[in-house]
A and B are shown apart, each in its own frame.
Chain A
Amino acid sequence: MLNPLRSEREAFRFLLYVVIVAAVVVALVLLARAIL
Chain B
Amino acid sequence: MEAASIKAGHAAHPEHDHHGPPEANRSSRVEPQLLGMLLFIISEIMVFGAFFTAYFFIRVVGEAEWPAAGTELPKLIAGVNTAILLSSSVTMHWALESAKSGNRFGLQAGIFTTMLLGATFLFIQINEYVHLGFAPQDHAQGSVFYGLTGLHGAHVFIGLTLLAFATARAFRGHFTPTEHRGVEVPGIYWHFVDAMWVIVYVTVYIV
Where the two chains meet, the residues of A that have a C-beta atom closer than 8 Å to any C-beta of B are: 4-5, 7-9, 11-12, 14-15, 18-19, 22, 25-26, 29
Contact = CB atoms under 8 A, between A and B. Distances in A.
B199 A15 contact: no
Best-buried of B37, B195, B199, B207 by chain A (most CB within 10 Å): B195
Given A5-B38, A8-B184, A11-B187, A22 B192 contact: no
Interface stretch (B20-28, B85-93, B133-141): B85-93
B68 interface: no
A25 B183 CA distance: 32
B191 A14 contact: yes
Interface of B: 37-38, 41-42, 86, 89, 92-93, 96, 183-184, 187-188, 191-192, 194-195, 198-199, 201-202, 206-207
Main secondary structure of the interface of B (DSSP, over half): helix
A7 B183 CA distance: 11
B207 A8 contact: no
14 contacts: A4-B188, A4-B191, A4-B195, A5-B41, A5-B188, A8-B92, A8-B191, A11-B188, A12-B89, A14-B191, A18-B195, A19-B86, A25-B207, A29-B206
Nearest to B206: A26
Nearest to B38: A5
B184 A4 contact: no
A8 B198 contact: no
Given A15-B89, A26-B207, 19 more contacts: A4-B192, A5-B37, A7-B184, A8-B93, A8-B188, A8-B191, A11-B191, A12-B89, A14-B191, A14-B195, A15-B194, A15-B198, A18-B198, A19-B86, A22-B201, A26-B202, A26-B206, A29-B206, A29-B207
A25 B191 CA distance: 20
Contacts of B201: 22
Contacts of A18: 195, 198-199
A35 B92 CA distance: 40
